[in-house]
Amino acid sequence: MSEPLLRVENLRTQFGRRDPLVAVDGISYDLRAGETLGIVGESGAGKSVSVRSLVGLIDDGEVAGSVEWRGEELVGAKPRELRAVRGSGIGMVFQNAEAAFDPIETVGRQIVEAVRANRDLSKRDARTEAIDLLEEVGIGDPAGRFDDYPHEYSGGMAQRAGIAMALAGEPDLLIADEPTTGLDVSVQAGIVDLFRDLVAERDMSLLLISHDLGVVSQLCERIMVMYAGRIVERGSRKQLLDSPRHPYTGAFLRSVPDVDVRKDLEPIGGSPPSLDDPPAGCRFHPRCPAAEAGVCDGAAPPTVSFEDGGEDAERHEATCHGYTDAHPGGDAFDREAVEWIEPADGAERGER
């Protein structure tokens, strides 16, 4: 297997010192070339902070842990190095595309600048490249729209132009944070198709953040579920959608419209905890229908692994007390399926 492009280890981001708010609390994952990984979760789970922390975009908080990009450590790297990585290796797309542009400069000139910042091209060649990029992202009449100002683009076109900006440095990884949120449903579908084409044609990796499981499951082979600053479950799209193992994942799936099946939605009761004083034990326990007093509110839950999904199965893991003997369990917890149990930090090893 090739070395991962991105290796995130125990990433932790906090804001404030006296009463710190830990927005991202020790998350780890790898991303290899060509992989598509989605992070889903409710508002406030720490999804955006987690990806901004990767590339030096947290200016008023402290980032700890390790983020290796092609073997190069990014946590604590110099601003110049981080800018270089953001310019060429990693492209970023945000929800509010218009904010990626300077309102008083034309879209075309800004893309030319982004192209030239990363590649040694003449002005003329960079202009041709910028027009090609606008065409690639689906802007009709790209040469004609080159001299438009950002506000002259519709929301969907601005998002496409933002993607063109992110592609200007020929990135190997595209990080997109809620790239379709706030757009009309029909416009969203076009953006999803665009990402799918770009990933396939450019052989890029994609790290997609969204509260919209539909969008993530259309684009990502692997999915991680984040709750209150931590990853509570990870696996392939099929593993998570067909056999969710964490009660939060199950509740999350029941709370969002299905990609293709109509069903009754059940909102998750209660609200996510505040991250400046999270609940002890499993952070989901106050909302969890299967929570067990004395177990789930005690030690941090263990991470358990499941072997499902057939031959090319992903690593499927959930961080939950329900699979240990300390928990009375029930139908929701298929203990037979657990292959091994690894204690999370500070958690006791669960007996099988």
Ligand X SMILES: Nc1ncnc2c1ncn2[C@@H]1O[C@H](COP(=O)(O)OP(=O)(O)OP(=O)(O)O)[C@@H](O)[C@H]1O
Contact set with ligand X (CB under 6 A): 15, 21, 23, 41, 43-49, 60-61, 211, 275
- Determine, following the binding rule CB under 5 A, whether residue 48 of this chain makes contact with Ni ion: yes
14 SS3 class: strand
Tell whether residue 50 is a contact of Ni ion (CB under 5 A).
Answer: no
Is 14 a residue that touches Ni ion (CB under 5 A)?
A: no
- 344 three-state secondary structure: coil
Do 89 and 167 contact (CB within 8 A), yes or no?
Answer: no
Give the residue with the Cβ less far from ligand X, 139 or 275: 275
Alpha helices of the chain — where are they, by DSSP H? 47-52, 79-84, 107-118, 123-136, 142-145, 155-167, 185-202, 213-219, 237-242, 247-255
Q: Which is nearer to ligand X, 252 or 323 (CB)?
A: 252
Select 230 or 321, whichever has its Cβ closest to Ni ion.
Answer: 230
CA 130 to the chain's CA centroid? 27
Min dist. Cβ of residue 69 to ligand X (A): 20
Nearer to ligand X (CB atom), residue 47 or residue 283: 47
Q: Which does 211 bind (CB under 5 to 8 A by kind): Ni ion, ligand X, none?
A: ligand X
Site track for Ni ion across 114-143, x = CB under 5 A: ------------------------------
User: Which of the ranges 43-51, 56-64, 104-112, 223-231 carries the binding residues for Ni ion, by CB under 5 A?
Assistant: 43-51
**Identity of the residue, 182 or 257, whose beta carbon is nearer to Ni ion in the bound complex:** 182
Question: Which residue's CB is nearer to ligand X, number 110 or number 319?
Answer: 319
User: Which listed option, ligand X, Ni ion, none, makes contact with residue 12 (CB within 5 to 8 Å by class)?
Assistant: none
The distance of closest approach from Cβ of residue 250 to Ni ion in the complex, given in angstroms and rounded to an integer, is 23
Contact 307, 300 (CB under 8 A): no
119 burial via Cβ count (<10 Å: 0-12, 13-18, 19+): middle
Write down the least CB distance from residue 52 to ligand X, Å.
8
Owner of token pair 């280890």: 9
Shortest distance, position 45 Cβ to ligand X, whole Å: 4
Cα dist from 72 to 33, 76, 241, 349, whole Å? 15, 11, 34, 34
Closest C-alpha among 1, 31, 34 to residue 202: 34
Q: What share of the chain is helix, strand, coil (3-state, %, to 5)?
A: 35, 20, 45
In whole angstroms, how close is the CB of 277 to ligand X at the nearest point?
Answer: 12
Q: Report in angstroms how near the CB of residue 227 gets to ligand X at its nearest.
A: 10
Cβ-based neighbour number of residue 257 at 10 Å? 12
**Which parts of this chain interact with Ni ion (CB under 5 A)?**
47-48
